[in-house]
Chain A
Amino acid sequence: MSEKKIRVLIAKPGLDGHDRGAKVVARALRDAGFEVIYTGLRQTPEQIVAAAIAEDVDAVGLSLLSGAHNYLFPRVIELLREQGADDILVFGGGVIPEEDIPGLKKAGVAEIFTPGTPTSETVKFLRERCGDKQ
């Protein structure tokens, strides 16, 4: 009973109503043995950060298909930093143009997974980044 489970918050920031991708990823992570906290649609960055802190997650995965990622993703990272929780890994996915990815990474997003990337990539990524936190 004393193994450390990887806990991940999957969140949909902003007004974007596309939730299939987020649910696909949530299921894939569950099937890989992670504990996934799903908070549903239309979350503000403030809500996402508050939930991430109370749930003591290892990582926050943001899903966005509407195009507002360049504002919302960095905003989540900024708030985590303000609250002294920047040890929580932030990654993301959805419809995100190639040319936006370097800027997002510079802002602190650890990785972006775009349409067509197998979910096993995400699992592998999280195992590498959160697996040996003991």
Chain B
Amino acid sequence: MNRDWGALLTRARAGDKRAVARLISGVEEGGGTARTVLDQVWPQTGHARVFGITGPPGAGKSTLTDALTKCWRQAGLRVGILAVDPTSPFTGGAILGDRVRMGDLTLDEGVFIRSMGTRGRLGGLSPASSGAIHILDACGYDLILVETVGVGQSEVAVVETADVVLVLTVPGLGDDVQAIKAGILEIGDLFAVNKADRPGADRTANELRTMLTLGETEKRDLPVLLVSAAQNQGVAELCQAMEQRFSQLEGSGELARRRELRLRSELLTQIRDGMERRLLDPLLEGADFQQAMERFQARQGSPYQWAEEFVRHINMGGSG
């Protein structure tokens, strides 16, 4: 879609939500449009703090996002929210329902909520999540909350996107905090047991503390808080704990390290894509490749041998 993205960005930075929304659609569209948008937005980014919230489906991530946001709004911060729900791998469609828990925030001028489908990306986020974060950052949202899809075991992409990751669980999911499997535990910078108004929350918190003690040493003293998002209990404390974790990570240099890694990986992704387009695409279209495929299928030459052959070719032609 052809739009004047520069003008949109000016409007978006002046507080026009329609313009913010359009920029995010631009990065969701991908391809050349996403690139144009990011080219514009990039110089204005690098200011926001990004908090990720992850945990099993139904743990109360959306309800808590709503409660935490109200807390930060009281402190005068502008908050951007990205709420990710799964896209059906069969139809490509999605029902994005996180807003159901955030109705009170809809009319708040200082809050921007955007729902995103995973659109085929594994890991619990959407392919456009990082782009959308950059846009919210450039539009002056001080704090960006990213709610991932309900985690199973491999939805850990949030760790590559957020400065601080909150892992949420609830009592009654079965023995031994079964819903927080290895992998999910590792990505937490702090933990909370939601629905503390229900029986068993204490026990779940203790189990979690035990599991942390058994793991890596640096995880041992991570905070595990009890909270009831629906009843707004423990939310202010959790807010504070998240800010504290942020400051700790900042003080120790870990935040800077994470941010550098994140930028590096974003850059590498683009370099890889660019190389693919420039080197691989022409190769796949060429007659050489067709002929090679025929011989390869007839079991002449292993995958390694052919790859070597082609890569050598690329090196010779690709000196420019």
Please list the residues of chain A having a beta carbon within 8 angstroms of any beta carbon in chain B.
Answer: 1-2, 4-5, 26-27, 29-40, 42-43, 46-47, 50-51, 53-56, 83-85, 134
Tell me whether B99 and A39 are in contact (CB under 8 A): yes
With a 10 A CB-CB cut-off, give which of B20, B22, B25, B119 has the most chain A CB atoms. B25
What 5 A-B pairs are tightest by C-beta distance, nearest first? A40-B100, A2-B31, A30-B93, A56-B21, A2-B30
In whole angstroms, what is the CA distance A36 to B25 when docked? 15
Contacts of B34 in A (CB 8 A): 2
Contacts of B107 in A (CB 8 A): 46-47, 50
Tell me whether A83 and B18 are in contact (CB under 8 A): yes
A55-B114, A56-B21, A56-B24 given as contacts; is B29 within 8 A of A36 (CB)?
no
Tell me whether A1 and B127 are in contact (CB under 8 A): yes
- The 8 A CB mask of B63-103 against A (1 = contact, 0 = none) is 00000000000000000000000011001111111011101
Tell me whether A53 and B17 are in contact (CB under 8 A): yes
A2-B30, A55-B21 given as contacts; is B103 within 8 A of A38 (CB)?
no
A1-B119, A46-B107, A56-B25 given as contacts; is B96 within 8 A of A35 (CB)?
yes
Contacts of B30 in A (CB 8 A): 1-2
Main secondary structure of the interface of B (DSSP, over half): mixed
Option from A1, A27, A83, A85 in Cβ contact (under 8 Å) with B95: A27
Inter-chain contact count A-B, CB under 8 Å? 95
- The 8 A CB mask of B19-44 against A (1 = contact, 0 = none) is 01110110011110110000000000
In whole angstroms, what is the CA distance A85 to B16 when docked? 12
Contacts of B119 in A (CB 8 A): 1, 5
Option from B31, B92, B96, B115 in Cβ contact (under 8 Å) with A33: B92
- Asked whether B51 is an interface residue with its Cβ less than 8 Å from the other chain, the reply is no
- Asked whether B106 is an interface residue with its Cβ less than 8 Å from the other chain, the reply is yes
Contacts of A134 in B (CB 8 A): 1
Tell me whether A51 and B99 are in contact (CB under 8 A): yes
Q: Report the minimum CB–CB distance from A51 to chain B (whole Å).
A: 6
Contacts of B21 in A (CB 8 A): 53-56
In whole angstroms, what is the CA distance A53 to B22 when docked? 9
Tell me whether B18 and A31 are in contact (CB under 8 A): no
A53-B21, A54-B17 given as contacts; is B93 within 8 A of A47 (CB)?
no
Tell me whether A54 and B20 are in contact (CB under 8 A): yes
Contacts of B17 in A (CB 8 A): 50, 53-54
Q: Report the minimum CB–CB distance from B22 to chain A (whole Å).
A: 6
